Structure 1
Amino acid sequence: MNLLIEIAAFAFAIGVLVVVHEYGHYGVARLCGVKVLRFSIGFGKPIVQWVGKESGTEWTISALPLGGYVKMLDERDPGQRIAERDLPFAFNRQNVAKRIAIVAAGPIANFLLAIVLFAVVFATGVVEPTATLATPPAGSVAARAGFEGGETILAIGDEHGSVIEPVRSWSDLRWKLLDAAFDHRRILMRAREKDGVYDFPVDLSQVSERDVDEDFASMLGFDEGGALSVAAVEAGSAAQRAGLAAGDTLRGVDGRRIDGAQTFIDYVKSHAGRPITLQVERGASAAGPLLDLTITPQAQRDPQTGGEIGRIGAALATKVTTVEVRYGPVESVVRGVRRTWDIAVYSVRMFGRMLTGEASIKNLSGPVTIADYAGKSAQLGWAAFLSFLSLVSISLGVLNLLPIPVLDGGHLLYYLVEAATGKTVSERWQLLLQRAGLVCIVALSAIALFNDLARLIHF
């Protein structure tokens, strides 16, 4: 069933993104007076096709649905025989400004789609975890700022506190942290504790771009906090022998407060073969006394480091408080624009870091990973799926704007050179660059597919 959901969600996502991208090219080409011969969703043999009565464009849905194209009237295509009366409508006869507009319209359409989808999510509202922190690891950026765990972030501003922006949810906190980390800024975080509201100076000026990845917040010590509960206990495990049961809430370990899964897991790992005492809350009421359970984590070999770590045999779940995040129509659009811009800039920077070796090429994902996330987001609800669709749409727009021949960005590069010099790039150079660009695309696709397989079979 999950596989069917993944396939259906992936097909729908790719279909929407391709239609929007290619219709951007198509719509602007028509506005610029260019005749469009074919609008195809997919490649290969057409399955369904029809011809528009007014435009004369052939619309097709083809057998291989991974992409699409718009074929325009163009004298450079040796397969086209163009009548004299149709020459003014050929793409190559248009001025350079129109050609730039037509080529750029596809990626721009992807960005506009992302803005609209984000705006819909923001306007209709989505339930998200609050920005409550877990206990940060010693020595982390969060710990050096003075956070101890349990604080709820209310706002983030500049280091002087003169510009303060509210933080409404955990994802909102992550994006604001990402923005500050990329710019290596010192910021002020306003947080609510049990006894009041305080400001915490956070220094992100020394954060390396190598550290700014999908798990960057955790690396800085900002983990999602909440009550840690036991989801399941393995039969015959140390947890079961000690009396730990599913539904128990973990409040402390050896007298230390527990408010985050990673902190607790790290503590258990470091106590292989040594007894630890858990303070456990059992039952629906939190008013009763806590139970003390002594557990000796079983020692086992860590497959990553080869060292010895502790394990108690319990699956954990974090009970987080949530909040509904909703904005007005105008603010939703503004936030949609900002979120789209932030993700696009992050994507470009990440790709640049991969080229310079500052980030791993393992960050590249292919169709298998995209299908997996499409299925998972679809099962989480429409808001998660629309957010996923927005993210992939932005990625598609950014990818197509890269100055690689064969992609839209490569053609834009030719036309920008023509606009600056007044001369077109020679056909010989275009042919050489297209071959080089094709090699780049094949290499990137191969790496992405390899990463997909590596994630799938865990090697």
Structure 2
Amino acid sequence: MFEFIYWLLSYVVPFLAVLTVIVFVHEMGHYLVARWNGVAIQTFSIGFGRELFGWDDRQGTRWRISAIPLGGYVRFVGDMNAASTPDTELIAKADPELAPRLFANKHVWQRIAVVVAGPLANVILTFLILYALLLGYGRYTIPPVVGSVIEGSVAESAGIEAGDRIVAVDGYAVRGFEDFQRLVATSPQRPVTIALERDSGAETIVLTPEAAEVEDRFGNTQRIGRIGVSRDVSQTDVTLYRPGPVEAIGMTLEEIRFIIQRTAAFLGDFFVGRGDVEQLGGPVKVAQVSGQVATLGIVALINLTALLSLNIGIFNLLPVPMLDGGHLMYYLVEAVRGRPLSMKVQEIGFRFGFALVLALMVFTLFNDTLFAYLRTLS
């Protein structure tokens, strides 16, 4: 019983807290833009399944907390289900007062705005969190100077020398050696462009980090890139850098760009045979990571919330029916054609999207539990 309570408090509670915040912000993005465009909203739900408790507001929207706390949805009047599949029969029979407020009857650009608002809300949440943390805590940095180069390493072959000061990697500014490490580590077997300074002047070097597997403090195996350099230990000055409010905006946007670019590159690795399925994670892995990060403190958990919020926003924009990106794809086609796709085509797309999302959920769940079990045997 004690072990179950410990597991519940250590993993499930942090995971649900993070997920609830992210889902609420995402759905609130849809809700607010829909409300601003005069859309009649039937339900705002955190979670799926049976309602645990709820209330009706003055506009007639049902706000509810549901039994399965793994997501949420905003359901508009005229939707057949939580996936916003139009109920053509209800829409056709809607009374004249209600018809203009139905989501399906809104202008295509209004529907596009409502769809984009959810992922955009996730991006805004990520920006606000990272910006606040940067202003509030600043950044501890170590001079980005190479101390030594391992003989026979990728770095030596590419021409990196001890004493080189790293300026940028793939266009991202390097303010400390920790930036250099992270930019290289997130590019296993992918070419990176390194801008550096040495006595002879500025140099630009292109190299491909080799892939290596390392174990983090929690025992999780990570696949990272390595080039075979270490920092200059004589550069012991650890400084706390606090950017101003304007500079912090640029630094936060650069961080968001970095996360998006590296996430896209990670997914792209699977199409060229470089991907490692063990690195894919579903609900079980996210819960595990949430619990582990929670042990590092509330700031680390808030930072994880920002990262997951951005990734969920990106994932939802994939052009897969059932996701926001699938709806967006339909509406963009409608904007170009001047008329919507037939309901038969949309229904086929929704079925395909549902099967794809379900298959991905089953795969990641199986992947999480399989590798977790194998780790217990090793």
Partner of 1:116: 128
Question: 1:226: how far off?
Answer: 6.5
**What is the CA–CA distance in structure 2 between the aligned matches of 1:143 and 1:57, rounded to whole Å?**
64
Partner of 1:173: 180
- Give the partner amino acid of 1:94: K
- Closer, same or farther: CA 222–390 of 1 in aligned 2, 3 Å: farther
Question: 1:321: how far off?
Answer: 7.5
**What is the CA–CA distance in structure 1 between the aligned matches of 2:286 and 2:172, rounded to whole Å?**
36
Aligned residue pairs: how many?
A: 353
**What is the CA–CA distance in structure 2 between the aligned matches of 1:451 and 1:365, rounded to whole Å?**
7
Partner of 2:218: none
Query: TM-score, length-normalised on structure 1?
Result: 0.68
Q: Describe how 1:262-411 pairs up with structure 2 within 5 A.
A: 322-411=238-327
- Give the partner amino acid of 1:47: L
Partner of 1:156: 168
Structure with higher helix content: 2
- Closer, same or farther: CA 321–359 of 1 in aligned 2, 3 Å: farther
Does the alignment pair 1:24 with 2:36? no
Report which stretch shifted further, 14-23 or 121-130. Answer: 121-130
Q: Indicate conservation of the 8 Å contact 1:156/1:190, yes or no.
A: no
Q: Indicate conservation of the 8 Å contact 1:46/1:62, yes or no.
A: yes
- Give the partner amino acid of 1:100: I
**What is the CA–CA distance in structure 2 between the aligned matches of 1:8 and 1:152, rounded to whole Å?**
46
Q: Indicate conservation of the 8 Å contact 1:99/1:415, yes or no.
A: yes
* Secondary structure in 2 matching 1:156: strand
Does the alignment pair 1:189 with 2:196? yes
* Secondary structure in 2 matching 1:50: strand
* Secondary structure in 2 matching 1:106: helix
Q: Which structure has the larger Rg over C-alpha atoms?
A: 1
Q: Indicate conservation of the 8 Å contact 2:166/2:194, yes or no.
A: no
Does the alignment pair 1:141 with 2:142? no
- Closer, same or farther: CA 153–332 of 1 in aligned 2, 3 Å: same
Question: 1:223: how far off?
Answer: 5.5
- Closer, same or farther: CA 343–446 of 1 in aligned 2, 3 Å: same
Partner of 1:58: 62
**What is the CA–CA distance in structure 1 between the aligned matches of 2:164 and 2:238, rounded to whole Å?**
12
Structure 1: tracts of 5 or more residues without a match: 192-196, 228-319
- Closer, same or farther: CA 95–182 of 1 in aligned 2, 3 Å: farther
Q: Indicate conservation of the 8 Å contact 2:155/2:229, yes or no.
A: yes
Question: 1:73: how far off?
Answer: 1.7
Question: 1:113: how far off?
Answer: 0.7
Structure 2: tracts of 5 or more residues without a match: 1-5, 80-85, 215-221
Identity level (%): 31
* Secondary structure in 2 matching 1:458: helix
Question: 1:366: how far off?
Answer: 0.8
**What is the CA–CA distance in structure 1 between the aligned matches of 2:17 and 2:357, rounded to whole Å?**
24
- Give the partner amino acid of 1:390: A
Q: Indicate conservation of the 8 Å contact 2:122/2:312, yes or no.
A: yes
Does the alignment pair 1:203 with 2:213? no
**Aligned-pair Cα RMSD in Å:** 3.5
- Give the partner amino acid of 1:436: F
Q: Describe how 1:211-226 pairs up with structure 2 within 5 A.
A: 215-218=223-226, 220-222=227-229
Q: Indicate conservation of the 8 Å contact 2:43/2:64, yes or no.
A: yes
Query: TM-score, length-normalised on structure 2?
Result: 0.81
**What is the CA–CA distance in structure 2 between the aligned matches of 1:22 and 1:425, rounded to whole Å?**
25
**What is the CA–CA distance in structure 2 between the aligned matches of 1:198 and 1:128, rounded to whole Å?**
29
Does the alignment pair 1:35 with 2:40? yes
Q: Indicate conservation of the 8 Å contact 1:168/1:325, yes or no.
A: no
**What is the CA–CA distance in structure 1 between the aligned matches of 2:223 and 2:201, rounded to whole Å?**
25
From 47, 67, 72, give the equivalent of 2:71: 67
Question: 1:364: how far off?
Answer: 1.7
